[in-house]
């Protein structure tokens, strides 16, 4: 019982510290020109460098979705183009914004926690603070902004490549003809779904950058603790992304 | 217990009057972490143009004292005055102006891994001055030449030896022409000869730029080499204060145990007594 309450209190302490710490992220930067330059660097690290992984995952995800849907639709009453429709909506509503954000939480999140954690244990963050630089704003702000800018584009790329993967899989396996698939992806298209996917992505982008940064920033000790902070940060990021996925889905698709 | 080794200075008023006025003054400083009272009512003065040394055993509170002085830790009570301005009670923005006058040399150098040596030195200049790139480059090169590393500008910190990292950290610390320089274990992890080079560099820079330098160390070589105003911290209290000559002859048991810890040093003390 004591352990149970201690763990729960620990979560509340983290939430309180995170909120206060985020207040420092939103302060005015010391120098805008350097801040802007750092955003461009992070666009490269967080956005551009993730495109390869996202492309591979999305193409295969779309292909597998097509084969599974085609395999499960056995009734002659359900038209074949439903496969295209199902692949499109699954990718837009869930797979691309949520699964890609979870994958990025692993790739980008662990890298952020490791980078900032190492800076913490090697006194580089103290060095920034002593110089008079708001280290939280300087280190975390550009990463968060870069992710908020890049991730919607990444998700759009993911949706496009997922549909392409599905189209190719349908064609190559002979389960769905090209014309049926294209008809399916155009059928009863809801533009709001794209807006919904992008809104979720922006929230997830903030989570998968700031949560690992928080754990890295508060790391102490040595390499072992930085590694542990990195692992814990990815776990927390994924759980928080899934929680917000539920909340946003309920709010936006009412 | 506080044994202020200024008895001889009080007996000699001329020498007392010639002692420079303190640039940094700590009064009644207390700091606790939970139940653990780390700093107990510390009073200390650190003089301009001098290498002020804080010594003490590991865990005595030296680093916590320094981190309180530079604002990395909030103090529980007490004041930290930089030229009469109470740093501890200032707001974040007020502290910023003083922080730009502070240079700090960390134990491991704390150089930014992602930047070249030149960019590391230019970083505070880029953040806080309106200087153009040419002026910043010239200042960085000047600082590198001052620490005898004029060709290291394009290297990354991972390509430097321990001693070079310390010298680059000194170059970065002096790039903004600080009034106050803090050095945390400046020659830890270095061989005695390189340690001496770093010590001498700190002393030269202190005199050259009239800086108030505070060195935290437990290396007695440094204390004897460059120490002018020495403060001994024992179990979170300011236990003793004096010069490098006085530390060798004091009868304060805790200081004696610290300075003459090894058998060799005990023999040296016995020889000195003779």
Q: Where are the domains of chain B?
A: 3-101+178-273
Chain A residues closer than 8 Å to B96 by CB: 132
Task: Tell whether A36 lies on the interface with B, counting CB pairs under 8 A.
Answer: no
B102: which chain A residues are within 8 Å (Cβ-Cβ)?
130
Tell me, what's the pLDDT at B140? 95
pLDDT in tens, A122-158: 999 999 999 989 999 999 999 999 999 999 999 999 9
- CB A90 within 8 Å of CB A166: no
Q: Which residues of B touch A (CB under 8 A)?
A: 67, 70-72, 95-97, 99-100, 102, 104, 106-108, 110-113, 123-124, 126-128, 182
Q: What is the ipTM of this complex?
A: 0.84
B117 CA: distance to closest CA in chain A (Å): 14
Query: Between chains, do A131 and B70 touch, taking CB under 8 Å as contact?
Result: no
**CA–CA min distance B255, chain A (Å):** 30
Residues in A touching B104 (Cβ below 8 Å): 126-127, 130
User: Quick check: A44 contacting B, CB < 8 Å?
Assistant: no
For residue B3, what pLDDT is reported? Answer: 47
What was the pLDDT predicted at B257? 87
**A129 shares contact with chain B (CB less than 8 Å):** yes
Contact of B100 with A128, CB cutoff 8 Å: no
Q: Element (H or E) spanning A252, and its range? A: helix A223-252
Write down the pLDDT at residue B22: 62
What lies within 8 Å, CB to CB, of B171 at 6+ separation is: B121, B140, B143, B144, B146, B147, B149
Mean predicted lDDT score pLDDT of chain A: 94
Contacts of A124 in chain B (CB under 8 A): 110-113
Instruction: Put the strands of the sheet holding B22-33 in their side by side order.
Output: B36-47, B22-33, B77-82, B85-86
Report CB contact under 8 Å: A127, B110.
yes
Predicted TM-score (pTM) above 0.90: no
How many C-beta neighbours within 10 Å does residue A21 have?
16
| Distance to chain A for B46, nearest Cα, Å | 19
Q: Is A189 in contact with A87 (CB distance < 8 Å)?
A: no
Q: Find the DSSP H helices in A73-190.
A: 82-90, 100-104, 110-121, 124-131, 135-173, 178-186
Q: Where are the alpha helices (DSSP H) in B62-219?
A: 62-69, 92-99, 117-128, 133-146, 162-174, 192-209
Exposure of B11 in the CB half-sphere (CA atoms within 13 A): 4
- Are the CB atoms for B46 and B212 separated by under 8 Å? yes
Q: Pick the residue with more confidence: B231 or A1?
A: B231
| Residue range A224-239: mean pLDDT, rounded | 95
Size of interface A-B (CB pairs under 8 A): 52
Inspect the interface and report whether the beta carbons of A130 and B70 lie closer than 8 Å: yes
Q: Note down pLDDT in tens along chain B; length 274 residues.
A: 444 444 444 555 555 455 556 689 999 999 999 889 999 999 999 999 999 999 998 888 998 999 999 999 999 999 999 988 998 888 888 888 888 899 999 988 899 999 999 999 999 999 998 899 999 999 999 999 988 898 999 999 999 998 899 999 999 999 999 999 999 988 888 888 888 888 998 999 999 889 999 999 888 888 888 888 999 999 999 999 998 888 888 888 888 888 888 888 778 778 877 7
Nearest chain B CA: its distance from A123 CA (Å):
5
Nearest CA in chain A to B94: A132
Contact between B96 and A127 using a beta-carbon 8 Å cutoff:
no
Measured CA to CA, the distance from residue A43 to residue A57 in angstroms comes to 20
- Proportion of chain B in helix, strand, coil states, percent, rounded to 5: 45, 25, 35
Determine phi and psi for A236, rounding to 5 degrees: -60, -45
Could you read off the pLDDT of A63-112 as tens digits, one per residue?
999 999 999 987 888 999 999 999 999 999 999 999 999 999 999 999 99
Nearest to residue B197, comparing CAs of B241, B157, B232, B166?
B166
CATH class for the domain made up of B3-101+178-273:
alpha beta
- Work out the minimum CA distance from B54 to partner chain A, whole angstroms: 19
CB B104 within 8 A of CB B69: no
| Arithmetic mean of pLDDT, A238-244 | 97
CB proximity A251 to B under 8 Å: no
CB B184 within 8 A of CB B105: yes
Q: Do A129 and B127 touch (CB under 8 A)?
A: no
Question: What angle (nearest 5°) sits at the alpha carbon of residue A65, between those of residues A63 and A66?
Answer: 65
Q: How far, in Å, CA of B121 to CA of A69, rounded?
A: 59
């Amino acid at each position: 019982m004591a352990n149970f309450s201690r763990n729960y209190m620990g979560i509340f302490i983290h939430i309180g510290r995170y909120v206060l710490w985020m207040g420092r992220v939103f302060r005015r930067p010391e120098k805008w020109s350097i801040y802007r330059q750092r955003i461009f660097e992070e666009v490269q690290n967080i956005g551009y460098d993730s495109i390869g992984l996202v492309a591979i995952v999305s193409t295969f995800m779309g292909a597998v979705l097509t084969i599974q849907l085609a395999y499960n639709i056995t009734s002659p009453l359900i038209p074949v183009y439903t496969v295209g429709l199902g692949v499109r909506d699954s990718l837009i509503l869930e797979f691309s914004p949520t699964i890609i954000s979870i994958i990025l939480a692993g790739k980008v999140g662990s890298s952020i926690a490791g980078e900032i954690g190492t800076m913490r244990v090697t006194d580089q963050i103290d060095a920034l603070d002593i110089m008079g630089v708001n280290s939280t704003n300087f280190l975390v702000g550009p990463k968060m902004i870069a992710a908020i800018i890049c991730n919607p584009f990444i998700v759009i790329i993911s949706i496009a490549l997922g549909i392409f993967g599905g189209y190719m899989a349908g064609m190559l396996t002979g389960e769905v003809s090209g014309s049926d698939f294209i008809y399916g992806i155009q059928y009863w298209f809801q533009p709001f779904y794209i807006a919904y996917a992008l809104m979720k992505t922006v929230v997830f982008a903030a989570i998968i950058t700031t949560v690992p940064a928080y754990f890295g920033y508060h790391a102490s000790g040595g390499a072992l603790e930085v590694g542990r902070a990195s692992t814990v940060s990815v776990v927390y990021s994924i759980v928080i992304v899934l929680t917000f996925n539920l909340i946003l889905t309920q709010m936006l698709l009412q | 217990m506080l044994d202020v080794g200024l008895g001889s200075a009080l007996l000699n008023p001329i020498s007392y009057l010639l002692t420079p006025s303190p640039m940094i003054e700590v009064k009644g400083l207390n700091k606790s972490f939970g139940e653990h009272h780390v700093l107990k009512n510390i009073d200390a003065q650190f003089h301009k143009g001098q290498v002020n040394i804080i010594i003490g055993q590991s865990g005595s509170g030296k680093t916590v004292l320094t981190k309180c002085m530079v604002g990395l830790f909030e103090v529980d009570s007490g004041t930290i005055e930089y030229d009469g301005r109470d740093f501890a009670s200032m707001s974040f923005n007020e502290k910023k102006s003083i922080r730009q006058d502070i240079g700090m040399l960390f134990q491991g150098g704390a150089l930014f891994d992602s930047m070249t040596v030149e960019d590391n030195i230019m970083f505070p200049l880029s953040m806080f001055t309106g200087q153009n790139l040419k002026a910043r480059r010239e200042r960085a090169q000047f600082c590198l030449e001052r620490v005898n590393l004029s060709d290291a500008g394009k290297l990354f910190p991972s390509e430097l030896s321990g001693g070079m990292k310390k010298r680059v950290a000194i170059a970065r610390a002096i790039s903004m022409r600080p009034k106050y320089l803090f050095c945390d274990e400046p020659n830890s992890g270095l061989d005695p000869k390189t340690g001496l080079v770093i010590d001498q560099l700190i002393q030269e820079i202190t005199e050259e730029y009239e800086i108030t330098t505070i060195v935290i160390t437990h290396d007695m070589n440094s204390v004897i080499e460059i120490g002018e105003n020495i403060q001994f911290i024992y179990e979170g209290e300011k236990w003793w204060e004096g010069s490098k000559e006085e530390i060798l002859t004091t009868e304060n048991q805790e200081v004696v145990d610290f300075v003459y810890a090894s058998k060799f040093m005990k023999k040296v003390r016995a020889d000195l007594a003779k």
